[in-house]
Structure 1
């Protein structure tokens, strides 16, 4: 059954979760989640914040080079997460480059994907998911500055360089950082209606990019690499 047919029968998803790890990119998480926060004023939603432990998860790591950062307190661990999550969001960030750091996320995605309705990634979150094998044979995109590294994590993935976000079945992947906001508005439009998505964007005073194929940062990254 296609995601569209499933949605029409079951209605839009209401149970979301985000998978955190040390060194996640703040806007990868907070951009999409703020859209969900605003959406929850219109439609009742639930959200789990997942991590390996219940300790606060930092946006910084010892090797990230940041002198400031924030932390988020998880609501559940991967081990005790309930099985009714419908939509899982996986962010990117400097911490995604450490295999040991993201190993709990990879293991959770591999186990949880068969029962998810949708899997969403932002930035190098697609590289994290790619190592689980879930993206094998799928079209996907990732952060353009980190393109060579990110795509190397999934040699069996059909990577799309010129894309702001890519939808392949029930998996949505977006380019770097702010692209996750455009992807989430597009996801809301697909699931809840364009009118709701635009209303939320207007309330946020955000100008949406509604074309998934328009990605000027792909060319910019190529030009930067050529110099």
Structure 2
């Protein structure tokens, strides 16, 4: 587990000091998870959230490949080829963890038993639409994403605010095929925390070092600011 717990701890900030690193996005999302909750972690940044869940937190991590009780990533040299998460990352299991087949795993996902599903994203729109399974030039693979966005009580999307070409992933409307319409309840990026509010993204928190001007420049969709920032 990372020793860094806190938004400004070493390793959680972007190299240029403006925003969070991938690990910082994961740690920030973890702080909002309620004790006693069951949480699915998808592929990408969400996988890192498990590294910041303290044993005493009573947060139960579900992995699509058939685990409840997934723990932090395995230390180098201590990997077990039979213990991986849905993204094939070598992980550990917490005391009391359970493993099971895909039929039971998908029943958990579809049956409303997950409090949160934390997913990566290619695009997310201010009306809550999410696109994370198909992109031009890539072989599409939806996996269990559509089941997760329909079955979980809350869907949080964790992603970098901009693509490799600098394009905003925070859109007025998704251009890529949708995983789910209106399913996103919260968004965590390297630049801040947001909630889809219909015609705009509501700004919940700016990441350290991120100015209002930077956030507006990096976001295609309109932003709705809290009173002190208005």
Which TM-score band (shorter chain)? 0.3 to 0.5
More strand as a share of residues: 2
Alignment TM-score, normalising by the size of structure 1:
0.40
Alignment TM-score, normalising by the size of structure 2:
0.40
More helix as a share of residues: 1
